[in-house]
Amino acid sequence: MKAQIVVNPAYAIGPIDPRIYSGFIEHLGRAVYEGIYEPGHPTADADGFRTDVLELVRELDMPLTRYPGGNFVSGYNWEDGVGPREQRPTRMDLAWSSLEPNLFGTDEFIRWCRKANTEPMMAVNLGTRGPAEAQALVEYCNHPSGTALSELRRRNGSDAPHNVKVWCLGNEMDGNWQTGAKTATEYARAAAEAAKMMRWTDPGIELVVCGSSFPAMPTYGEWDMTVLEHTYDLVDYLSLHLYFANRKGNLPGYLGQSHYMDQHIENTIAFCDSIRAKKHSRKRMMLSFDEWNVWYHSNEKDMQAPKWAVANNLLEDVYDMADLLVNGAALISLLNHADRVKIACLAQTVNVIAPIMTEPGGRAWRQTIFYPQYYTSQFARGTVLRQAVDCPTYEADVSNRPERTVLTEGIPYLASSVIHNSERGELVVLAVNRNLEEPMDLTVSMEGFDPLCLIEAVEVANPDLQAVNTADFEAVKPSQHDRAQLDRSTLRVELAAASWNLIRVKISS
């Protein structure tokens, strides 16, 4: 099978905002307790943070980490998680039928972020609470001193402001699974007032308003436009979420779900731009894809989990080689919309549908999906180029829900993105071969560039698409190969069947 890409420096999609490589920590399952925070662990530091986990998170180089949710935030009282630990209450978390001991809260999270080389992206509760409580949290975090809440933060050990710059106005407020779910108008009015008061408290913050939870919602589109009618001039980003799953055992369709992600992004851009036109606004709304990942392996097990315990084993998907391909293609989709997608959060970071897994008191290791996130974050920096792609296509059902069918034509066997990193003097090609049986002979014509040499060709491939990584054995890992050749301005590379690939080419400045 053959495929061709043509790129030229004169034709660009846009600059990559590094925040598309961000992460997510929710008070859910073992993400916090036994994940990032485990005081009794042999590697724990003075704050109780697992340093083995910190090292792996730093490898991923996540510019932002969203916290504390997720569904959890819609019932969360942030005040429960600050001050002396012995005085913090244990609460019922209705979102996940768990107990929350509040041993880890806002101040601990900020300290963890500083050690993990990531910036906080805080969410406020607009489910059971409202604009006043949202404003209060901004004041606690960001006001220097001299008010009751800023002085409370200082008494709690943080003399300098936390300086949290990005704030989410609630989470998935259109979903009936959400504590305090609202109609679009109810949410939009609360979000507008919260945005106004939060900006009055700190004019330098950026705000993310909730879009539709996922495309199959009955109010999809209508919700987004109603919310933007009220908040367009007050916020910076509209959020969108999507999870991938292979509940039907349909591998071709599963591998094509990033094609569905492309459609979701483009629909959401259309919703935003329709309100822009209606308001005669010069402002272009940007997108925050602040929840995305593969999530389905743990679904049945989660239904049997005991309720009202601390750190239940929830959403602990064990990822395989097929999941890595879907994850890698999703990153490519995000990059190919770099002109509008400015923030994206892999959900989540540790233990809960995560690239990093841990044992209580024991080891931490990299799941299969760790590798596309790592390599893309490390090397896909700069400007995404427009591609002219010639590639065979196929038809498949890309729905991740058993009750629905989304039959999609024209799914390319090649998912690809080409990035011009002018600082490093590199062209970076990211490519997924979705063909399960045939290798792909890929030609990349780099018109207008002066290629000097091939730096490296990295692939992740395993004929067993159900192969997984464990604490004892890493069955899926990257390797370099010699099947790439550079002939003047043309790159030729053979992509293995069902493989993820990164090729770096040195170019003249």
CB 171 within 8 A of CB 241: no
User: Do 215 and 342 fall within a single domain?
Assistant: yes
Pick the catalytic residue: 172, 193, 316, 459? 172
pLDDT tens digits, 444-461:
999 999 999 999 999 999
- In the prediction, which pLDDT does 99 show? 98
Spatial separation of the C-alpha atoms in residues 325 and 369, rounded to whole Å: 8
In a domain, 270, yes or no: no
Q: What is the pLDDT of residue 401?
A: 81
Q: What is the pLDDT of residue 411?
A: 95
Query: Per-residue pLDDT for 310 more than 80?
Result: yes
Residue 308's pLDDT is what? 97
Rounded CA separation 187/235 (Å): 14
481-493 pLDDT, tens digit each: 999 999 999 999 9
State whether 398 and 298 are in the same domain. Answer: no
* 491 part of a folded domain: yes
Q: Which two tokens stand for residue 117?
A: 């080389």
What is the reported pLDDT for 406? 83
Provide, rounded to the nearest whole percent, the portion of the chain with pLDDT above 70: 100
Could you give the number of structural domains in the chain? 2
Structure tokens at 373: 């996130």
Beta strands in 18-156 (DSSP E): 23-24, 64-67, 91-93, 98-100, 119-124
Is 278 a domain residue? Answer: no
DSSP 130: -
Asked whether residue 141 is assigned to any structural domain, the reply reads yes
Residues 374 and 406 placed together within one structural domain of the fold:
no
Q: The domain spanning residue 395 has which CATH number?
A: 2.60.40.1180
> Per-residue pLDDT for 407 more than 90?
no
- Residue 217 neighbours by CB under 8 Å, 6+ apart: 174, 175, 223
Q: Are residues 84 and 149 in the same domain?
A: yes
- In a domain, residue 279? The reply is no
Q: Is the pLDDT of residue 509 over 80?
A: no
User: Could you tell me if 301 and 160 lie in one domain?
Assistant: yes
Q: Are both 139 and 159 inside the same structural domain?
A: yes
Residue where a domain stops, chosen among 381, 413, 433: 381
Model confidence band, residue 403 (pLDDT cutoffs 50, 70, 90): confident
| Final residue of a structural domain among 352, 381, 410 | 381
401 within a domain of the structure (yes/no): yes
Q: Would residue 272 count as lying in a domain?
A: no
343 found inside a domain: yes
Regarding whether 219 and 112 lie in a shared domain, the answer is yes
Cα separation, 27 vs 108, whole angstroms: 13
Same-domain status, 120 and 149: yes
Q: Cβ contacts of residue 456 below 8 Å, gap of 6+?
A: 480, 502, 503, 504
Of 291, 316, 426, 459, the catalytic one is 291
Is position 409 annotated as part of the catalytic site? no
Question: 443 and 505 in contact (C-beta within 8 Å)?
Answer: no
What is the pLDDT averaged over residues 179-207?
Answer: 98
291 catalytic? Reply is yes
H-assigned helices in 308-434: 321-335, 370-379
State which residues form the domain around 452. 2-10+384-507
Residues 314 and 446 in one domain: no
Query: How sure is the predictor about 402, in pLDDT bands with cuts at 50, 70 and 90?
Result: confident
Residue 491 and residue 394 share a domain:
yes
Residues 367 and 399 occupy one common structural domain = no
318-329: average pLDDT: 98
Tens of pLDDT, residue by residue over 116-148, are 999 999 999 999 999 999 999 999 999 999 999
